[in-house]
Structure 1
């Protein structure tokens, strides 16, 4: 598997599929590129897709030192540099949306269009409720996983799709990397920088997302100049998978619309 080299020497595994103008897909916290397995082919009618394993996940290096969403954004650019990609569309969901914000702010000339899904501006956003945080921190891992599944998908969809699921975290991550991912996402704060985003932006969110409350979509759309907001009724956090029949065409229409 090819690797790019981050500015600090960390090796970053990356994957390219399909053909056409590049679309970078950024996964959620503590997940590798497998997060996108179920839907990445939806974009290959008009785009090639570029994914990476964040530092700490997949086949990338797993240094035991602080991580941050700004550093993850610079890692994305290191991958683009290694691939010889000057400019790309960027679609990030959950923590990947936080990373995508920094890609657009720190490297504006590298981002053609930006899609932010089920994400937030960070510490000045709206947090999950205390009951959600307590359930996810349950000492019983199986109970915490059941809670996470319920936050990701509706019961009806889970009944029809019993798994395996690829959005529950990279099972091979070492503990130190998992903790550092959690802190990186929790400390994200792009509030003051959001008005500097110049790329045309689409914000997508499920109306029933309790993991990353839907109010954050409105905050992002209000802070980013000219941003468009689309809410998917009934969708939870993994809207891009359960509601792919609506979400993938919505994103593609935005990316391929005339400039």
Structure 2
């Protein structure tokens, strides 16, 4: 079971799969490497995929310190690439993972080949935030109702109805301590890479679902317009977890981009 060690001594669990050019897959807020389970094998066919447990999740260490930030997570990802012996990798980040990927491409351009930013945002100061109605639906006292609201933000009603026994991997790591969840929430909420986006030199694809209210779709053209030469693709009818529910459309378009 491989581990890398961050600059501040945190042990970071990661896995390597597949064959081909390296591809780093970055998961969403408060989620571990299993975020990618539903689609990772499709990428394994053509790439050596690297997935990691963020600090605070999975098998990685869970420090209760002020060491959680999207820019810090990017440095953690570099530590994983170093330990895996990978100098340069394509990067595909979704949700908070897309925020981390922005810093990775801006701060470590020599480590990033092609860049895919999925269902993500440049950050609150310049991005479009979710509505108060959505926020309230996620923090209601009835935990069953709150989880139902989260599922409906991630997936369409039709898909949920057709998958009643689905084992969800995108709704948060259930083993996380409350303090780690709070620190992930703060890290994602404080993200602001607006000034760094024009510095990104990697060829970039921005992907987003047209019906995403969890991370509003309006953030996609903001990112694409801020990153030099970035391309934009919208997945019609998709919500936040477009990469899973609409994998038959989303995965081929990402693969085509990554393969040049």
Is TM-score (shorter-chain normalized) higher than 0.5? Answer: yes
- 1:248 partnered with 2:246: no
Structure 2 CA distance, aligned partners of 1:57 and 1:183? Answer: 15
Deviation at 1:62, TM superposition (A): 0.1
- Matches for 1:1-259 after TM superposition, within 5 Å: 1-66=1-66, 67-123=68-124, 124-162=126-164, 163-257=166-260
Structure 1 CA distance, aligned partners of 2:258 and 2:113? Answer: 9
Give secondary structure in 2 for the equivalent of 1:91: strand
TM-score norm. by structure 2 comes to 0.98
Deviation at 1:164, TM superposition (A): 1.2
Give secondary structure in 2 for the equivalent of 1:191: coil
Structure 1 CA distance, aligned partners of 2:65 and 2:140? Answer: 26
**Structure 1: which 5+ residue stretches go unaligned?**
none
Structure 2 CA distance, aligned partners of 1:82 and 1:48? Answer: 15
Structure 2 CA distance, aligned partners of 1:41 and 1:249? Answer: 13
Deviation at 1:224, TM superposition (A): 0.2
Structure 2 CA distance, aligned partners of 1:140 and 1:30? Answer: 20
Deviations 1:125-181 (A, max 9, x none): 000011000111111211111000000000111111121110000000011100000
Give secondary structure in 1 for the equivalent of 2:196: helix
Give secondary structure in 2 for the equivalent of 1:209: coil
Structure 2 CA distance, aligned partners of 1:192 and 1:244? Answer: 32
TM-score norm. by structure 1 comes to 0.98
**Structure 2: which 5+ residue stretches go unaligned?**
none
Give secondary structure in 1 for the equivalent of 2:202: coil
Deviations 1:76-126 (A, max 9, x none): 000000011000000000000000000001100000000000000011200
Structure 1 CA distance, aligned partners of 2:15 and 2:160? Answer: 28
Deviation at 1:45, TM superposition (A): 2.2
Deviation at 1:2, TM superposition (A): 1.0
Structure 2 CA distance, aligned partners of 1:45 and 1:248? Answer: 12
Deviation at 1:46, TM superposition (A): 1.2
